[in-house]
Structure 1
Amino acid sequence: MSFWKKKSEKWVESPLHNNWYQSSSYFLSSFALITSVDEEGVTSIGPYQLSFPFGVIERREWIVISRRGSNTSKNLLRNKKCALNFVEYDKKHIPNIVDLGYPGQAPEEKMKDCTFELEDTPTKSFVNDPERPKVIKEAFQVFECELNDNPDDFHYAGTEFTEYLLL
């Protein structure tokens, strides 16, 4: 199947399935590689396509829609710290990025064959904080964030499958 070839169908039904937006869209979407720290102090990476600027006028905020119970979600709810890492598109990293998003893996297992190099945060005030995740050395931009779980700022319960995390 070629995405560049003109399609004769005027309408194509797309059945509902997990991560439908990745396989049913004809346009690319950016993604963030979110680093967070588990209970053992291990930094792991989770790829998130559903992450967007949220507060854009008076507050700097980012919303992340996460699979409920993911490593990233659990780590954020526990220590409230993460880093959004943005990397250049490089086809050789795509299989690894897909593997990093596989649910249910322990961080050590997930990071075993990781093609990205992690380094300590360059932010002086965060260097001695063991709950601050490492950042991806290859990233061209990194936002170091904290979870804003104040219900006066934002609250959406999500579903039994998703969590909405305001950073």
Structure 2
Amino acid sequence: MKDNHVDYEINQATMAIRCARHLEYQSHIIETGKSCYSAMTSLQLLDYACKMGGSTYKGRQDSVRFKFSFYSKIPILVNQNEEIIMFPTHSPTHIDNIWISLEHFDKAFEHAEREKAIVRFTNGEQITVMCSLKTLSKQHQRASALMLQELHFPRKRMVMRMQ
């Protein structure tokens, strides 16, 4: 029997998730006003949250690939009912990857060091990410396109693509 226990659920307060680089914990979660750690990887947390929202991580990923033709660093509609969209800074399995919540993202700035950027959240908190400002901006644009398509202007009827 599979164990469905999860020690953290992604929610509307989740601002970012990154690798914890710790012996006991896999993920470091930054929420509004606090941070915590999880024994689960960011992908495990995302998959669980996607399942709670009616799909799987893979299902959400495949849907975005199909609709937008994004093939790497795909933003994920984690939970459509709660309007939670997260986007990665790197490949989801990369150790420097950070999943950032679109809702909490405010602005990105150049960092003094090359190939780093600073992310400012809507509550004023900031984190440094190990990717260029250009990459971060592209990821933000992709997540914004996903938000507009899926949450603000959903299709009125089903459209099938024939190949």
TM-score w.r.t. the length of structure 2 is 0.31
What is the TM-score of this pair, normalised by structure 1?
Answer: 0.30
Return the structure number with greater relative CO, CA threshold 8 A, min gap 6.
1
